[in-house]
Amino acid sequence: MLATERDMLHSILGRSKIKRLFKLRRQLIRFQRVLGPMTEVCGKLVHLDLPCVDVEAKNYFRDVLDHARRVEGTVAGLKDVIT
C-alpha cells in the first residue's frame, strides 16, 4: 500500500494532499496526451510500407510501440487510482 493510500485511509485529506492529487492527475492527463500520438505514429511506422523507413527499423518501432502501449495501460491505471 502506498503512503498516500495509507494516509487517505487513516485521516481526512488536507488541502495540500488534495492539491497534490489534482496536480498528479493533471500531469498524467498531459502525459497521456503526448503518449497517444506517439503510439499512433509508431503504429503507422510499423504497419505502413514507407520508402523512407528501413525494413530493419520496423522491429525497433514495434518494440517502441509495445513499450508505449504498456505505459498507456499503466498511466490509465494510475489515473483511475487517483480519481
CB atoms within 10 A of CB 11: 9
Q: Provide the whole-model pTM.
A: 0.69
Predicted confidence at residue 33, as pLDDT, reads: 93
Nearest to 24 by CA among 74, 78, 60, 61: 78
Domains of the chain: 3-82 (1.20.58.340)
Q: What is the mean pLDDT of residues 11-16?
A: 74
The dihedral built from the CA positions of residue 57, 70, 33 and 21, taken in this order, carries a sign that is: negative
| Model pLDDT for residues 42-83, shown as the tens digit of each residue | 898 888 888 887 888 888 989 999 999 999 999 999 888 887
- Residue 56 has a pLDDT of 83
